[in-house]
Amino acid sequence: MVIGKAIEKSCEILKNAGIQSFVLDTHLLMCHFLNVDRLYLLCHKNERLSNPEGFFDLVERRKNREPLQYITGKCEFMSMEFEVDKNVLVPRADTEILVEAVIDFAKDKRLKMLEIGTGSGCISISCGKNCPNLEIDAVDISALALSIAKRNGEKHKVPINFIQMDILKDFPRGRYDIVVSNPPYIKKNDIKSLMPEVQDFEPEIALDGGEDGLVFYRVIAEKAKGCSFVAFEVGYDQSKEVAEILKGHEYQNIKIIPDLSGINRVVTGRGQQQI
């Protein structure tokens, strides 16, 4: 089978499976399988595939709604490539709004930052890459997630102190200027209603925000109020509630920032420490 025919067949399979991005996903799977770029596919449609079965094994995984990023093992975020697998959430473009809020605050100042729930490390690494004067600690409950984050940090040459910790039981000691988090914020009972790519493949421990989805915001707001700046990513309907949590802990200058779709995505506030 030649590349062009394999692409046509894959598109048909994924389209029939209800995957809206069937063309893009097919091209990215083929690029990954052949280790080439999309231009190569256009110029070599009639080139014979030496192992079409291997390619269609990948297509079958996507047909079964496994996220494309887990199949390829990589994801782009803030114009950088990150390693990902089923032990970490897939980085999403909306989270870049959170990173940009931190970068705007930190700029070139020498500050100490704490990230809670680092996953792949994409937030801390992106902040450190853009603000090289930051000293960064990043915690996660999962040792498997931290191993991926460490590899990503080494790949992008950003020094970060990664710490395994359950922040519902303990909290990093020391004084931080910035505390940032994209914590688990899905209501426990809502997880089963999420799209298959999320509920069946992404780690539940990184999704479950308790009965009302706000448990981590309450803990972090309480423990981090001595910082100068706190920044949270929030669910599509949580911005006002998270802002109220910050107000209840006497944070000032609270701001709600929308994503590119106009959905309130990030909540920031100023803590007790002045810079």
Domain extent, residue 33, equals 3-64
Same domain, residue pair 237 and 108: yes
Residues 200 and 248 in one domain: yes
Residue 155 domain-assigned? yes
**Is 128 found in the same domain as 256?**
yes
Place of tokens 């790519």: 197
Domain stop point among 46, 64, 82: 64
Phi, psi of 253, deg, nearest 5: 50, 50
Mean of pLDDT over the chain: 95
Looking at the structure, do residues 172 and 57 belong to the same domain, yes or no? no
Residue 69 within a domain:
no
Q: Which of 17, 43, 64 is the last residue of a domain?
A: 64
Are 125 and 207 within one domain?
yes
Amino acid letter for position 190: D
Same domain, yes or no: 56 and 102: no
Q: Which two tokens stand for residue 192?
A: 């089963």
User: Domain for residue 41, yes or no?
Assistant: yes
Quick one: which of 161, 153, 148, 163 has its CA closest to 74?
Answer: 148
Pair (23, 110) in one structural domain: no
Residue 159's SS3 state is coil
CB atoms near residue 199 (< 10 Å): 16
- Give the domain CATH number at 221: 3.40.50.150
Q: State the total domains in the chain.
A: 2
Q: Are residue 104 and residue 81 in the same domain, yes or no?
A: yes
- pLDDT for res 190: 83
Can you tell me the distance from the alpha carbon of 209 to that of 241, in angstroms, rounded to the nearest whole number?
14
* Same domain membership, residue 246 and residue 154: yes
Q: Classify residue 36: in a domain, yes or no.
A: yes
Tell whether the torsion through CA atoms of 28, 31, 37 and 39 is positive or negative.
Answer: negative
Does 91 lie in the same domain as 25? no
Q: Which 3 state secondary structure label does DSSP give 107?
A: coil
Last-in-domain residue among 37, 64, 91: 64
Q: How far apart are CA 104 and CA 127, in angstroms?
A: 10
Asked if the model's pLDDT at residue 274 lies above 80, the reply is no
pTM value is: 0.93
Average confidence (pLDDT) over 145-162: 98
Q: Each residue of 12-54: pLDDT tens digit? A: 999 999 999 999 999 999 999 999 999 999 999 999 999 999 9
Instruction: For residues 27 and 60, state if they share a domain.
Output: yes
Q: Are residues 113 and 204 in the same domain?
A: yes
- Whether residue 275 lies inside any domain: the answer is no
pLDDT bin (cut points 50, 70, 90) of residue 245 is very high
Q: What is the mean pLDDT of residues 189-206?
A: 86
Distance CA 113, CA 227 (A): 9
Q: Is residue 141 included in any domain, yes or no?
A: yes
